[in-house]
Amino acid sequence: MAAAFPGPGDVAALRAAAAGGRPAGPEVASVRDTDASGVPVRIYDPAPGSAGRPLVVWFHGGGWVMCGLDTHDPVCRSLTAGSGAVVVSADYRLAPEHPWPAAPDDALTVLLWARTQALALGCDPGRVVVAGDSSGGNLAAVTALRAPGLVAGQLLVYPPLDAAMESASVSPYGEGHFHTAAHMAWYWEQYGGDPAHPHVSPLRARELSGLPRTLLVLADCDPLRDEGLAYARRLGAAGVDCAVHVYPGVFHGFLGLPLPAGRAGGPGGRGILAASRRVRGRGGRIRTGVLLHAV
């Protein structure tokens, strides 16, 4: 599978491959593009005129160097259709043209904008969730670290959380499973920033208490898997209400792929938001539940 995707080093080729065909998402009542304090965003509203709903600020994946509103349009459509939440998808600036901290600064800008616009969008400002896949999951985690009081929850889908890439899952899954360790190392290099800084590597943050309730969705055959598990353990130890789901037998990037029935519940929406199995955390476990219905 990895051979079908360009290797690291050619930004143009990677962006062209990422822009290739994807399965269309479901119909959504209202989809519109606008500007969030200078950052382009796309708003998905499943039921215009409603009120008090959760608001999801979504950050797309792509190693901080590729993808955008169009590549993740099917995922955002599935997420809003499956959850009933309004989704605001952020088109943050990409590396290497715009290295760190451009992307996390754009992410925080969109969160602040979303909070001010929540009521106008028919949402509860106290029910804002940050979410994203891969590098977007990193941005969601960093945004929650920077503004924990403004976020009611975080949904992190196979996020890279430590630029050191020293977790145990790197060795068995670093090659031959679509997303290689060489790709990830190159993405980190393009992204820039101090690898030890918590706004680059959230797993390096000294203090995690006070973060919002968290759902981590991980791929079993992913070099990033154990970073996610380590973050879940640290969140649980810090008293954060956290749930984790490891999808067996799938690799990094499964969110945008048409998986066989029963493997991961399909991309976005119901598949991501399914209740997860119990693991160790606060009070002896990390609690399960559907994040958006709990905030």
Point out the residues that are catalytic.
Answer: 134, 222, 252
Residue 91: CB atoms within 10 A of its CB come to 21
Phi and psi for 187 in degrees, rounded to 5?
-60, -45
Q: Can you tell me the distance from the alpha carbon of 277 to that of 84, in angstroms, rounded to the nearest whole number?
A: 23
Q: Which of 243, 56, 232 is nearest to 151 (CA)?
A: 56
Strand 153-157 vs strand 123-133: parallel, antiparallel, or unpaired? parallel
- Residue whose pair of structure tokens reads 């002896």 in the numeric block: 284
DSSP secondary structure string for all residues of 224-248: THHHHHHHHHHHHHTT--EEEEEEE
d(CA 138, CA 199): 9
> Do residues 147 and 111 lie in contact, with contact meaning Cβ atoms separated by under 8 Å?
yes
Between the alpha carbon of residue 236 and those of residues 18, 128, 157, 242, 243, the distances in Å are 35, 21, 17, 6, 9
Nearest of 156, 157, 178, 172 to residue 251 by alpha carbon:
178
DSSP 287: P
| Alpha-carbon span 22 to 7, nearest angstrom | 20
The pair of structure tokens assigned to 228 is 């996610």
Cβ contact 156:215 at 8 Å: yes
DSSP β-ladder status, 30-36 and 39-45: antiparallel
Q: Are 281 and 289 in contact (CB under 8 A)?
A: no
